[in-house]
Structure 1
């Protein structure tokens, strides 16, 4: 996918506007945190708690993969356990997401569509569309990958004011076949729709291809350092690959998602990404490589300080989910991977060598 022919003119116009509106607020950019920027209109009840939500879904895996596309959904019933312990049912539409997972995995990620009238006065009220991330393979150990990806979302939620709200769910999936119905127990991640994020911050979704120079400086480095922290190269802020753009508070901010190819999650199908066929110098997803662009050193310093400030919070997120892991070694590995990041962050020479010096020149039109 390539930017349209007006790409350069649009960038220049936006860059000029952002410079004119943003020069007077540089100090606030460098000192931003969740307290100063995150003033949401509302958070859906679905995402207002970190409790694991019990759910039931019944659908044919075969029909999901072969019978759905961007506009074609299959009808299903989503059941969830309400706060009083009773089970409630919702009529929903489901479709598969992701070409890679559709071809390689037993389960595909799912897009859920719920009519407003159906969701009214339920836990799902206010959520017309949701993403549901499921394990790739039908194996108990695959649930640990879901836990680690969920923790990655929670890391970014703790670090950045602009983020997707998520909810861990324990699903009983009934796979309908021609012979019988087979039930499997698995973890999943419910992810709110980007339009809900925009509404929460009184902004709007920004879909045009933009030069990263037009992105909010602090948030841009924050996003790139987070990707480095979890060992993820499977993203592009220019081409909006595993990224959404939000225009809020007179700034364009990138919001990341999909972390299953990261070294932190380290799924058994993960490979080093080649976005736009770009060859990287690392061989394994557990090898980190900073993919951000060159910025003012004061911005790097401010973002670095914000990550150091949240260090204990991130370790607590891992600790809070340790009991859910099938294989305790996976949790230990995740903790060690985070520790290796902070070893770099806390060492001035390593921070300069591995991150600041590795920042790429800002692209003019293409990444």
Structure 2
């Protein structure tokens, strides 16, 4: 990903999206690898030069080879046909970062990896610039959703047994310190930006640590179709 404009705000958007990929690597081995670049761009007509950040994403062919599986390109795969263990963590991660611009059935911002023939597919998310965590100025929620801003969280995952939800919540709570440390020590972003991201993720941890909040904001909001 390359910043579309040479403004500090747009450079920060690139850095924040790169950071999301690094956070998901904490959550799951089934994640895209990314590499941050310092990019010098030259205007071939006027000779002007500018330096910015960018990142490159692992090609899907290398991803599948590294994970020892095959890419499943079939659309209309029902989320309940995915590996529940990995699907639940992916869906809750998307909620953590305030991201609803994804779909298993449409293969929208999701790669499905089949670890072995006929095994349940494992979803690998990508393209997070429409998340509340990144908070791009052009990111708007779909009109049919009950939120006005991408900073507002809305759970886009399918319903699962409550014990599966509880296991996934506990998994994230156990990783809270690691996630916050990764954000705090991401020195490419200014301190103010890092503090805002910590506040945003801590809001998520506050929700999943409360039986009442996680039930009213996640479990009862899950999708059935």
Q: TM-score range, shorter-chain basis?
A: over 0.9
* C-alpha displacement of 1:190: 1.2
Larger radius of gyration: 1
Among 204, 211, 218, which residue is 1:341 paired with?
Answer: 204
Partner in structure 1 of residue 125 of structure 2: 256
What CA distance in whole angstroms lies between the structure 2 residues aligned with 1:331 and 1:182?
31
The TM-score with structure 1 as length reference comes to 0.59
Q: Secondary structure at the match of 2:164?
A: helix
Partner in structure 1 of residue 39 of structure 2: 171
Q: Secondary structure at the match of 1:143?
A: helix
Q: Does 1:317 align with 2:182?
A: yes
Partner in structure 1 of residue 150 of structure 2: 285
Partner in structure 2 of residue 7 of structure 1: none
Q: Secondary structure at the match of 1:237?
A: coil
- Matching of residues 133-172 of structure 1 within 5 Å: 133-172=1-40
CA contact (8 A) 1:134 1:189 kept: yes
CA contact (8 A) 1:235 1:243 kept: yes
Q: How many residues align?
A: 222
* C-alpha displacement of 1:235: 0.9
Partner in structure 2 of residue 307 of structure 1: 172
- Matching of residues 1-367 of structure 1 within 5 Å: 133-177=1-45, 180-209=46-75, 210-249=77-116, 250-272=119-141, 274=142, 279-321=144-186, 323-325=187-189, 327-361=190-224, 363=225
What CA distance in whole angstroms lies between the structure 1 residues aligned with 2:120 and 2:80?
11
Q: Secondary structure at the match of 2:15?
A: helix
* C-alpha displacement of 1:136: 2.8
What CA distance in whole angstroms lies between the structure 2 residues aligned with 1:234 and 1:284?
13
CA contact (8 A) 2:184 2:195 kept: no
CA contact (8 A) 1:261 1:285 kept: yes
CA contact (8 A) 2:32 2:124 kept: yes
**Deviation string for 1:143-179 (max 9, x for gaps)?**
11112111111111000120001111111112322xx
Unmatched tracts of structure 2, length 5 or more:
none
CA contact (8 A) 1:148 1:334 kept: no
* Higher strand fraction (1 or 2): 1
Q: Secondary structure at the match of 1:172?
A: strand
CA contact (8 A) 2:91 2:156 kept: yes
Partner in structure 2 of residue 46 of structure 1: none
**Deviation string for 1:36-90 (max 9, x for gaps)?**
xxxxxxxxxxxxxxxxxxxxxxxxxxxxxxxxxxxxxxxxxxxxxxxxxxxxxxx
**Deviation string for 1:117-159 (max 9, x for gaps)?**
xxxxxxxxxxxxxxxx112322123211112111111111000
What CA distance in whole angstroms lies between the structure 1 residues aligned with 2:67 and 2:193?
35
